[in-house]
Amino acid sequence: SQQGEEDPQALSIQEGENATMNCSYKTSINNLQWYRQNSGRGLVHLILIRSNEREKHSGRLRVTLDTSKKSSSLLITASRAADTASYFCATRAGAGSYQLTFGKGTKLSVIP
């Protein structure tokens, strides 16, 4: 069963605009990760935020985590056509948990 649920399911923006994707989850987590998938390709890890962190940056990516609301957001600033992909959040439950549970993804289209 899916732990994370991304919102929106699809997002279309113009190049240069910011893209915001949200992820909600159901149970307590140890960390939350965001992955990117180009069409038909493997997933690539983007960024990880731990449960005791509230915000994290990596280049044009900004991730926030609100454990009280069980939600996270991924912001891509100054989007580029090459950012077109599907973005997935994934949660790891406990410190000793083996399993990374993925959401259904947000499909981002950046129009040149």
CB nearer to another protein: give 95 or 112.
95
Residues 82-99 as b/e (b if ≥16 CB within 10 A, e otherwise) read ebbbbbbbbbbbeeeeee
Distance between CA atoms of residues 78 and 65, nearest Å: 21
Is 28 an interacting residue with respect to another protein (CB under 8 A)?
Answer: no
Is 43 an interacting residue with respect to another protein (CB under 8 A)?
Answer: yes
Distance between CA atoms of residues 1 and 20, nearest Å: 24
Q: Fill in the per-residue mask, 81 to 100: x = in contact with another protein (CB under 8 A), - = not in contact.
A: -------x-x-x-xxxxxxx
Binding stretches for another protein (CB under 8 A): 1-2, 30-31, 33, 40-45, 48, 50, 88, 90, 92, 94-105
